[in-house]
Chain A
């Protein structure tokens, strides 16, 4: 059996590892800790802004792919993104993700902005904003990460992307998540909502306060493990409800991460969390093994192919030193985007910072390329945030890049090792 090492347990790493294992490879996944997926909002962004607001992500990214050769979508292509999205939807099912690559939902955020995103939890769908909708945003007094007044007033003054406005009011109720706690996290509330008895008490408190025809916006804490908790709350209230994601700990992000991790485990992926991968060994240009810095003695994992899915600056896979020199911290790979002038400028709310476009360049099979377009190591592939060429956070393209590159890398590796 061919052996593959995947480095990184975010959306890209988990998706690729699962696909590789399902495809017959023996996969070891090395990670420093829990991946970034659970810090996200439990949605899948494919393309949100160009900087104009995007309504059809896959159509718009096809245009980017042909006009911006340095962009990751040029290597991944619309077909790659499609494959990634369909694979993830198939893995996780409609209890966790709905939507398609042709349409963006326009969902309220926890500060009352309107965020375009592609795949969403079914618990968020009723929040897709349409003109003349009647909304009530409901907060929990002991949950300080969600301020219904802020959400409601910002939504009320905003013209919707397709024109028109929503009618929106707000209210707060006090339903303790557990005794003895006046300041509970969203996670504590989500665990409480897993209990059907808690949902009864919550619905009984809220129901009398709702008006005819209102759709109810709630913080995204409606159950951590029970994926039907939100629809049970809607049934008990007799009103449509939608979840608004909160800052971390993000409950919808945790749901996605837990489900995808379970899929990886079930596919037979050997998970080795808790240690940073710090070194590699190559022979004749090919990577032979990588070494983790674990308790006791360092440990080498040898394999036939390696997939770097360790993220970017935020996870330490890319680093900038005090002299402004940027490096990829494991393999010392050549980076694209360094010649764009000063990488950081002082106009923080102005133009994009060139630094965030720095990363590795990949071929269509997701093998890492050098500046001249030659393959760096024949058995080294990359996926996700380590790939440079886009400001993923500004475009809202990070999840689409992660999924597309993960699926393409996995398929290339399986084909190469077949």
Chain B
């Protein structure tokens, strides 16, 4: 029953931070889940507190209600890896009774491959109430949960068919990591990211690539996730040695930067190589600006727009680079959501038994978005955009769309 990932779980890295907990409760105040439901007793109780009593088996099943948003780890002033400890303990807890649902919803690449050729049909099915009711009953995915919109063309399909970029690559090559969502569902965000990079003078290399395994990781399937993340590292490394890797898939970037290592204990030079080279798209643009290398001849966009920094982006400890970059666009007023999490937390909010919790977590954000601009919101990660769109009815784009527009590319 125990596997390499699970033997690690609850031991090395995160476990070592346990003793730094001074029980100050700052994590409790940051948790968006315990704020809306007594079903989760809070990160301190379930994390550093309960961890001391765990010997393999979990002492507290409310653990499964942790959404792994990482707000607790981000808030901890003592460096305790609370969310990581909880993710590990949950993997151990679920190991011998992994729900079929949790195995299915983590197969993101497979979903994309199957849905793209039959996109209109797939979309119709996802919006069909009787079908969704059956799916909820049989599989456990809530009937109202947001689902990715199937596209008629994959990113690789677009890359093959499009005209070669006309602008000369004066700044050298970079590698683009699109993630499953950016390859199959959020194709437009990937295209716009690539076009912005090319506009800036980069040659964009897009190697054939699979899934980072994040969804499997967050559902406790550490073996599959570890294999997926290392396969991806090989693929990204094939794009070129020492090149900067850029991604507009915020949460997948986090998987490569720290989660695969810190949560699953993947200790591999290939992961380290990719993890230290990868940059979030908006982070990369801000780095350029800080170095005085970002053209700021932006066209004005007269608009007030709400922006939500996803939990898994914030947990990377880089602040909110999108806010700083968007500030450079004349006429554009960006209002930060101030919300910890939209509730979806990857696949958490899809699940029948967690749906109501996830909606309650996201409610202040949905209200804020509607209040600020009923037509458009910005957010860096895919599942969060689907959640915000579905629950607020407001179209939600990646912030790179604004940059693309302001450079006159759309």
User: A and B, one complex?
Assistant: yes
A interface residues (Cβ-Cβ under 8 A, vs B): 31-36, 38-39, 178-181, 185, 187, 191, 248-249, 254, 265, 270-276, 292, 294-297, 299, 314-316
Question: Can you list 29 A-B pairs with a CB-CB distance of less than 8 A?
Answer: A32-B77, A32-B79, A33-B26, A33-B75, A33-B78, A34-B30, A39-B26, A179-B38, A180-B38, A185-B42, A187-B28, A248-B25, A249-B26, A249-B28, A254-B29, A270-B324, A271-B319, A272-B318, A273-B75, A273-B314, A292-B317, A295-B254, A295-B258, A296-B276, A296-B278, A296-B279, A299-B318, A314-B22, A316-B79
Give chain A nearest CB distance to B364 CB in angstroms: 10
Given contacts A314-B22, A315-B77, 13 further A-B pairs with CB under 8 A are A33-B76, A36-B77, A39-B24, A179-B38, A187-B29, A248-B26, A249-B25, A272-B318, A294-B318, A296-B275, A297-B276, A297-B277, A316-B78
B interface residues (Cβ-Cβ under 8 A, vs A): 22, 24-26, 28-30, 35, 38, 42, 73-79, 254, 256-258, 275-279, 314-320, 324, 336
Q: Are B78 and A249 in contact (CB under 8 A)?
A: no
Give chain B nearest CB distance to A267 CB in angstroms: 13
Q: Are A181 and B28 in contact (CB under 8 A)?
A: no
Known: A33-B76, A36-B77, A274-B73. A294 touches B26 (CB 8 A): no
Give chain A nearest CB distance to B179 CB in angstroms: 16
- Set of chain A residues within 8 Å of B314, measured between Cβ atoms: 273-274
Known: A265-B336, A271-B319, A295-B254. A33 touches B29 (CB 8 A): no
- Set of chain A residues within 8 Å of B257, measured between Cβ atoms: 295-296
Summarize B's interface: helix, strand, loop or mixed. Answer: mixed
Q: Are A33 and B318 in contact (CB under 8 A)?
A: no
Most buried by B among A36, A254, A274: A274
Q: Are B317 and A181 in contact (CB under 8 A)?
A: no
Most buried by B among A36, A39, A296, A314: A296
Give chain A nearest CB distance to B362 CB in angstroms: 16
- Set of chain B residues within 8 Å of A180, measured between Cβ atoms: 38
CA distance A270 to B316 in the complex (A): 15
- Set of chain B residues within 8 Å of A33, measured between Cβ atoms: 26, 74-79
Q: Are B77 and A35 in contact (CB under 8 A)?
A: yes
Chain A residue, CB-CB nearest to B253: A296
CA distance A273 to B42 in the complex (A): 21
Chain A residue, CB-CB nearest to B287: A299
Q: Are A181 and B30 in contact (CB under 8 A)?
A: no
Q: Are B317 and A273 in contact (CB under 8 A)?
A: yes
Give chain B nearest CB distance to A81 CB in angstroms: 26
| The 6 residue pairs across chains A and B that have the minimum distance between CB atoms | A33-B77, A296-B257, A274-B317, A275-B317, A272-B319, A295-B258
CA distance A32 to B79 in the complex (A): 7
Give chain B nearest CB distance to A220 CB in angstroms: 14
- Set of chain A residues within 8 Å of B30, measured between Cβ atoms: 34
- Set of chain A residues within 8 Å of B256, measured between Cβ atoms: 296
Known: A36-B77, A187-B28. A272 touches B317 (CB 8 A): yes
Chain A residue, CB-CB nearest to B314: A274
Q: Are B318 and A34 in contact (CB under 8 A)?
A: no
CA distance A273 to B319 in the complex (A): 6
- Set of chain A residues within 8 Å of B25, measured between Cβ atoms: 39, 185, 248-249
CA distance A178 to B37 in the complex (A): 9
CA distance A294 to B316 in the complex (A): 7
CA distance A357 to B144 in the complex (A): 59
Most buried by B among A39, A248, A295, A314: A295
- Set of chain A residues within 8 Å of B24, measured between Cβ atoms: 39, 248
Known: A38-B26, A187-B28, A295-B315. A271 touches B79 (CB 8 A): no
- Set of chain A residues within 8 Å of B42, measured between Cβ atoms: 185
- Set of chain B residues within 8 Å of A181, measured between Cβ atoms: 38
Chain A residue, CB-CB nearest to B279: A296
Known: A38-B26, A185-B28, A273-B74. A178 touches B38 (CB 8 A): yes
Q: Are A294 and B317 in contact (CB under 8 A)?
A: yes
- Set of chain B residues within 8 Å of A34, measured between Cβ atoms: 26, 29-30, 75-77
- Set of chain A residues within 8 Å of B315, measured between Cβ atoms: 274, 295
- Set of chain B residues within 8 Å of A276, measured between Cβ atoms: 79
- Set of chain B residues within 8 Å of A265, measured between Cβ atoms: 336
- Set of chain B residues within 8 Å of A248, measured between Cβ atoms: 24-26
- Set of chain A residues within 8 Å of B35, measured between Cβ atoms: 191
CA distance A295 to B29 in the complex (A): 23
Most buried by B among A35, A179, A271, A297: A297
CA distance A292 to B277 in the complex (A): 16
- Set of chain A residues within 8 Å of B278, measured between Cβ atoms: 296
Give chain B nearest CB distance to A303 CB in angstroms: 11
- Set of chain B residues within 8 Å of A270, measured between Cβ atoms: 319, 324
